Structure 1
């Protein structure tokens, strides 16, 4: 029987109560306190318009180590030759709006208007963050996710130029590793992320990591808006 959360005071059940697909509960709300409580327990919301609010905690869980991204020769060439303007938290709203655009012939998106509003509030509260790739002042790729303590929970990414989202992920990994944050949650298994070095771990192990890393203090200045030094080599 599906667990239904109270809309005013949702109390999440143990993640072991999730079904075989990882669906744990329905209902509740998308307030800042609720979302932070969910992420601290290894739970995230994922639903589309017309569906109730759904909460998930899949097993296994896909993760990426900040020093474990697999950079192919072609991607390395792009990093060193194409995108020279990489920014953190300069335009979170634009990133989540781009991520919300349906892709691959889909007509709907799980990043609904209600979800966008909720994550904009998370950003304003200092929990949601974006890594952004620009070309001639135009946002061409990026990603966003949630940072709590020394844990980063990836949510979505987009590319309007080839490999731009991969470049955003590369700079995110580099930035997190430079501040000794090691683990990025990728939520569910994705062949695309696997090619970049992501791998599955048991949910029990993931929950242990989340409990540990979310309690640690966030390094000073980690999420301040900034531009990153370009790795591009000037063309002769």
Structure 2
């Protein structure tokens, strides 16, 4: 059994395409670092690796097998959600806002109470690292607002034609689903084939996500990184939700 590697500021990540999990007792854990070093987060995503850890832990870098993904065309828009979309689109004070206040969306995701979960993995270090990605054009927020107030949303990462979903939150029923429905419709418009959901949950499965082998995800990622036909900067509004009606 090989040892899990501690990464310094300039150390490369293990390649999950060619290297097996270093410790089979912790499947998917590829490496550890003392903190998230400058440039490290971008390199991780382009290698199919993401951070997931708690405040009292070092930074843990993961590439799980299988990998949970959502093909945007498989997004499950239930009849009740379609009804909610119709109402949302008719309300003049309701909006979908892209990249207007990234920090507010990330903070909302970090502070939202979640069933069966104590605390949050979205530490201050995570917020700072993803804010840097946002400033570089690689992290995005989709906010659902009502009369200017934030009621739900999500944030994600994007390299090439791959979108990596990170976290969602809702202050009102279905608000995060509206954000994911809008993102899925935008991905379809831009020929983006996968939204990475990282790890399997019943909630993600209910929205149309499904697991695929890690090697398939990594191969799809490598082919997606070179695609440059994606709309930049990201711009869309709630009218995009009409795709599901």
Structure 1 pair 212–231 and aligned structure 2 pair: CA distance change class (3 A): closer
Contact 1:67/1:177, CA 8 A, preserved across alignment = yes
**How big is the shift at 1:105?**
6.2
Aligned Cα root-mean-square deviation (Å): 1.8
Report the TM-score, using the length of structure 1 for normalisation.
0.91
- Residue pair 1:45, 1:55 contacting (<8 A) in 2 also: yes
- TM-score, scaled to structure 2: 0.88
Shift of 1:94: 0.6
Supply the distance in 2 between the matched residues of 1:157 and 1:112 (Cα, whole angstroms).
15
> By how many angstroms is 1:24 displaced?
1.2
In structure 2, which of residues 26, 35, 41 is the aligned counterpart of residue 35 of structure 1? 41
After superposition, give the CA deviation of every residue in 1:19-78 in whole Å (9 maximum; x if it has no partner): 353111111642452111111111000000010110001000000011110111111111
Q: Tell me which of 22, 28, 34 is aligned to 1:22.
A: 28
Tell me the distance in 1 between the aligned counterparts of 2:166 and 2:36: 15
Question: What does residue 8 of structure 2 align with?
Answer: 7
Matches of 1:175 and 1:220 in 2, distance apart? 10
SS in 1 for 2:197: strand
CA contact (8 A) 2:190 2:231 kept: no
Question: For 1:147-186, what aligned pairs fall within 5 Å after superposition?
Answer: 147-186=158-197
Q: Distance in 1 between matches of 2:123 and 2:3?
A: 23
User: Which residue of the other structure, out of 72, 79, 83, is the alignment partner of 1:66?
Assistant: 72
Shift of 1:82: 3.0
Counterpart-to-counterpart distance in 1, 2:28 and 2:198: 10
In structure 2, runs of 5+ residues without a counterpart are none
Gaps of 5+ in 1: none
